[in-house]
Amino acid sequence: MNVSLLAVLYLFIAVTALVAVLLEDLLSAFITLSFTGVLMATVFALLRAPDVALTQAIINSGLVTSLLLVAYSQTRKTPHPPEVCDECPSWLQVKVPAFVCSVLGLLLFRGLYSLAGERSLPEASAHYLARTLEETGALNVVGALLLDYRAFDTLGETTVIFAAVSGVSILLSGGKRVHSGHGLSYIVKRGMALLTPFILLYAASILFLGHLTPGGGFQGGSVFATVAILMCVVYGTGFEASRISSKSKETLEAGGAILFVLVGLLGIAWGAGFLSNLPAPFSAGTPGSLLSAGNMPLLNIAVGLKVGAGLSSIFYAMIKILELEDD
């Protein structure tokens, strides 16, 4: 582990986070925050946590930034009343955030140097590293934890996404949808047309090989959602909506949830318990092959459908309010 490099990255993370807090322009703050997410993903990669790094890069620097930009487009710049600015002293605006970031930075440095020494693995971690392949048939320990040992947690996470999609759809429903077909320049559109197949191939590899390599349903579904968002930005909302309707997204999301539950019910039917893997009628297969790790490939597909359709639905529900016109 390169401690010096991590120390520099931690310093940059603290600085960019402080700058994002102090910037008055929201657009600049969002861009700075996105850069902070990239730095954090780099730190996770150096700490040998590729699954977390991948999630951080895709979600924080990609999807979250897109949603924040959509929200930013709904804001209006209005001058603050003088009395509001006078009531907030300068030390509260600058010194307090700087102090908080400094304290958090010192804590990070302290944790960094504690990680640099010799450490023994906790008993639970040692068990998972030693027995995951035997008990689940998966080479990716993180994926096995999410879809086998802690499958109920993953089911809860997909339920949260369903609740978020339902809430956003209800809050932003109503009105007349007017599609914008302009998009960006011709060069950007051609570049997007060339990159899209490679992005989709990368998303599919993350999704279908999640039990073998870093990644899985959540990361793969997020990349698929990113493609839908990029198509909206580059080509205009009418282009993407004419190919993947809102009803299709809802169907894919519901299909992912149904598939996840059905796989869990197979365990009950076999007498092994809900979401049981190898004790249920699922084969461990040959370690390292595509058809291995029992029900984990199916669960990755289910989560990918749920996350990809759900996140893209949230985005399109948010941009819908940009294009509402009164009858």
Q: Do residues 75 and 184 share a domain?
A: no
CA pair distance 142, 132, nearest whole angstrom: 10
State yes or no: pLDDT of 94 exceeds 70: no
Q: Do residues 160 and 113 share a domain?
A: no
Per the structure, how many domains does the chain have?
Answer: 2
Q: Do residues 77 and 217 share a domain?
A: no
Q: Of the residues 94, 119, 144, which one is the last residue of a structural domain? A: 119
CA pair distance 205, 241, nearest whole angstrom: 25
* Cα R_g (the chain), whole angstroms: 23
Q: At what angle do helices 296-320 and 217-235 cross, to 10 degrees?
A: 30
pLDDT tier for residue 325 given thresholds of 50, 70 and 90: very low
What percentage of the chain has pLDDT greater than the value 70?
80
In DSSP terms, 325 is beta-bridged to 176
Higher pLDDT, 72 or 151: 151
CA pair distance 195, 213, nearest whole angstrom: 23
pLDDT tier for residue 13 given thresholds of 50, 70 and 90: confident
Query: Which are the contacts of 208, defined by CB distance < 8 A and separation ≥ 6?
Result: 220, 290, 297, 300, 301
CA pair distance 267, 278, nearest whole angstrom: 9
pLDDT at 303: 93
Higher pLDDT, 249 or 101: 249
In DSSP terms, 176 is beta-bridged to 325
pLDDT digits (tens, 9 = 90+) for 172-199: 665 555 455 566 788 888 898 899 999 9
pLDDT at 182: 66
Q: Do residues 44 and 140 share a domain?
A: no
pLDDT at 115: 62
Q: Of the residues 92, 119, 146, which one is the last residue of a structural domain? A: 119
Categorise residue 185: left if φ over 0, alpha if ψ from -120 to 50, beta otherwise. beta
Q: Do residues 104 and 139 share a domain?
A: no
Domain that holds residue 133: 124-327
pLDDT tier for residue 117 given thresholds of 50, 70 and 90: low
CA pair distance 285, 137, nearest whole angstrom: 7
Q: Do residues 111 and 140 share a domain?
A: no
Q: Do residues 195 and 53 share a domain?
A: no
Q: Do residues 107 and 197 share a domain?
A: no
State yes or no: pLDDT of 234 exceeds 50: yes
Q: Do residues 109 and 174 share a domain?
A: no
State yes or no: pLDDT of 85 exceeds 60: no
Higher pLDDT, 70 or 220: 220
Q: Of the residues 59, 90, 119, which one is the last residue of a structural domain? A: 119
Q: Do residues 171 and 235 share a domain?
A: yes
pLDDT at 99: 77
